Amino acid sequence: MADIGDVTEPDPSVLGKLVYSVPGAKNILEMPLLAAQVTKFKCGGFVLGLAINHCMFDGVGAMEFVNSWGETARGLPLSLPPALDRAVLRARDPPQLEFPHHEFAQITDDDSDEVAPPPHDGEPLLHRSFRFTPASIARLKALALLEGRPCTTFEALAGFVWSARTRALGMGPSRRSKLLFAVDGRPRFAPPLPAGYFGNAIVLTSAACAAGELAASPPRAVRLVRGAVEAVTDAYMRSAVDYFEATRARPSLASTLLITAWSRLPFRAADFGWGPPSAYGPAALPEKEVALFLSCGEERGGVRVLLGLPAAAMAEFQRLVEEVTAA
């Protein structure tokens, strides 16, 4: 197991061997909905590698599935039986598009900052993960208080990462920068979705701002994140379902940061009879537009941020992170 190394700094050449991939598969129709691979080591440890089609379920549903699998392996009844009726999220007929869905819009402006290629475009990526302790997150929350009422850990950290990444990339001050992230709709629908809902219940939401404004006022980024979260109401989500059914649109990632938050998923609850896992994480590195939020193992309240940037931008991003984490 020691040969795997530090999973918080994933090496795809190593971890990729622990997740099954179908030889010769070129598209989604040639891949199984779920593939599981168990790799046993001489030391007695083992790794469960999963490749899951996102059409089946979101992160919450995936962890409920894995945890139920563990309960079955231990001979226990399911503590949370799956709710399989997906009709509760069926699009309306006719569609009712009641809100603009900027998460699918491509950023296009005629400003000179916009027509010029982004700085570092085409440069190879350097991936790193950054640990934010509860103390450093508290400092971020304190900075965000300058904009008014208290914020959540996600709002504070997402606002900081969005602002710092934008600064590190050296985007022109008038270039628009977009933030995308998913919100779990289960408790936000009216009425809430049934416990154990087995499917995708996430809704993408977005915020956008000129790069110069983000660089000048990181607390403003937090306020924009909060606004994007609060926009996700029952009516908004129903409109989003109808919008997607009518258009089959895909989110544009131009000048965009997409945050994927795994930090609150109950990985340590997965128990197949040997207790909680000693380590867990992604087997692949995030794409250049993606930042992944992960938990810090057994440390409560800490978050690890994994992302990729060109080398020069990564050095600047690290400097901005250290201003918060080294204090």
All domains of the chain in start order, with CATH? 86-325 (3.30.559.10)
pTM, 2 dp: 0.92
Residues known to be catalytic: 54, 271
Please tell me the distance from the alpha carbon of residue 170 to that of residue 149, in angstroms, as a whole number.
30
Strand partners, 46: 40
Please tell me the distance from the alpha carbon of residue 217 to that of residue 165, in angstroms, as a whole number.
13
- Of 254, 262, 261, whose CA–CA distance to 229 is shortest? 261
Residuewise pLDDT in 10s, the chain (327 residues)? 777 777 777 888 889 999 999 999 888 889 899 999 999 999 899 999 999 999 899 999 999 999 999 999 999 999 999 999 999 999 999 999 999 998 888 776 544 454 455 556 668 899 999 999 999 999 999 988 766 678 999 999 999 999 999 999 999 999 999 999 999 999 999 999 999 999 999 999 999 999 999 988 888 999 999 999 999 999 999 999 999 999 998 888 889 999 999 999 999 999 999 999 988 999 999 999 999 999 987 778 899 999 999 999 999 999 999 999 986
Report the pLDDT value the prediction gives residue 6, as an integer from 0 to 100: 74
User: Which residues lie closer than 8 Å to 123 by C-beta, 6 or more apart?
Assistant: 310, 311, 312
Please tell me the distance from the alpha carbon of residue 273 to that of residue 76, in angstroms, as a whole number.
11
